[in-house]
Amino acid sequence: MKFTKMQGLGNDYIYINGFKEDIKNPAELSIRLSERHFGVGSDGIIIILPSDVADFRMRMFNADGSEGRMCGNGARCVAKYCHDKKLTDKTTFTLETLGGIKTLSCFLENGVTKTVSVDMGRAEFRAAEIPVLLDCDEVISKPLSTPVGEYTVTCVSMGNPHCVIFTECSPSELELDRIGPHFENHEAFPERVNTEFIRQLDESTLEMRVWERGSGETLACGTGACAAVAAAVRNGLCQKNQEICVRLLGGELYITCSEDYSITMRGPAEFSYEGEIEL
């Protein structure tokens, strides 16, 4: 099987052309290939497929084999893959995901995609839609008790569930390996949850670390950055219609939240290498 390794801000996946490769058990394959000592090494796999409702469809599987609904960094890399590998000559096209249909726009330098903008859809705050099992219609700055302490959380869906926590300290000071699993597997989140720890630096800059369900800490999470900005706007920390810089371990993403909480994400996508593996 041929594959392409790609990364967006260090959030690295193995990309497979589903037009050419027939993947029988993608969950098992993701576990095998993602292992960084005995496999290829990645945060998971992403399969690019035909779609009946969009230009392309993506399926993404985490390192533990669980299927994710949406991956913002992955979507940007899919856009680069489809354009630069000539699956399409469009620079703007649609992508079907389990989290909805997304519009992708490639920005080129010398005919090659350098950055990608993704229309991520509307942030969803209704608890039942995230889902989060707390006794309120929306979880906006609500207390959540965990085995590692009580935290004030804002919950939002970007096609996948997020729990956003604003901190006074730098996220770099947090013991994320110890704290993260208690959020991911908390009983309030029946589908588990991605957790973002955020410090606001100024009105247009946030710094963030993320614990992703199924993968643990990653260098970047596109949907997490979008959720962070949506939560910041909802809590009055940032303004609508202003591009916000989110600083992650792997680099920077630029997020804009509109009047109706529709979110646009802009950031890089890069090829790492190509390979072939016996299945």
Catalytic site positions: 71, 221
User: Is 62 marked within a binding site?
Assistant: yes
| Furthest C-alpha separation in the chain | 53
User: Is 18 marked within a binding site?
Assistant: no
Q: Which long-range contacts (CB under 8 A, 24 or more apart) does 131-137 make?
A: 131/161, 131/189, 131/190, 131/191, 132/161, 132/163, 132/188, 132/189, 132/193, 133/187, 133/188, 133/189, 133/190, 134/188
User: Is 235 marked within a binding site?
Assistant: no
User: Is 36 marked within a binding site?
Assistant: no
- Determine contact, residues 110/119, Cβ cutoff 8 Å: no
Select from 53, 2, 6, 5 the least CA-distant residue to 23.
2
Residue 96 burial (CB count, 10 A): 19
User: Is 222 marked within a binding site?
Assistant: yes
User: Is 275 marked within a binding site?
Assistant: no
User: Is 213 marked within a binding site?
Assistant: yes
Q: Which residues are annotated as a binding site?
A: 11, 62, 72-73, 160, 194, 212-213, 222-223
Binding residue ranges for substrate: 11, 62, 72-73, 160, 194, 212-213, 222-223
